[in-house]
Amino acid sequence: MALLVFLSTLSFTIESHYCGDVLVDTSMLDAVDTCGMETQQKTDSSECSLAKKDCCSNEQLVVDGQDNLKLSFDKLNKEQQKLVATFIYTYVNLFAEQQTEKPTFTDYSPPPLVRDVQVLDQTFLI
């Protein structure tokens, strides 16, 4: 259950750098590495007055998780509250320890010893 909540609230971003149609780098945690065309174009643009079209592009894939997880018990109607209370009660009682029955022979004493069989047979545990 906790894993389901964690995965539904997880948010992350995947960044990709393309040079033309070729994928150069993809990253989830760090900045993407570029192909070096940006530095080359900056030096060329100062010499030339015509600006060339940039062949590189960056793409971002943003996956947003769920933000509204707080569910109020007061917003449920009476039937839903009864269902939730019944479910919780039965779930808790699933793991309750069962009471064992009291053995019936604890109230009775053992039969009287008529003769000591170990002494008669002379069998002793050492």
Nearest by Cα to 51 from 42, 64, 63: 42
Cβ burial, residue 88 (10 Å; 0-12/13-18/19+): exposed
- Cα 107 versus chain centre, distance: 53
Q: What's the mean pLDDT in 73-92?
A: 85
Instruction: Give the pLDDT confidence score for residue 38 in this predicted structure.
Output: 62
Structure tokens at 109: 């004493």
What span, in angstroms and rounded, lies between the C-alpha atoms of 85 and 92?
A: 11
Label residue 70 by pLDDT band (50, 70, 90): low
Specify the long-range contacts of residues 28-37, CB closer than 8 Å, at least 24 apart: 32/58
Q: What's the mean pLDDT in 25-43?
A: 73
Higher pLDDT, 35 or 123: 123
Instruction: Give the pLDDT confidence score for residue 86 in this predicted structure.
Output: 92
Would you list the domain boundaries of the chain? 11-63
Residue 17 confidence (pLDDT) above 80:
yes
What span, in angstroms and rounded, lies between the C-alpha atoms of 95 and 100?
A: 15
Instruction: Give the pLDDT confidence score for residue 22 in this predicted structure.
Output: 85
Cβ pair 64, 14 in contact under 8 A: no
Cβ pair 54, 41 in contact under 8 A: yes
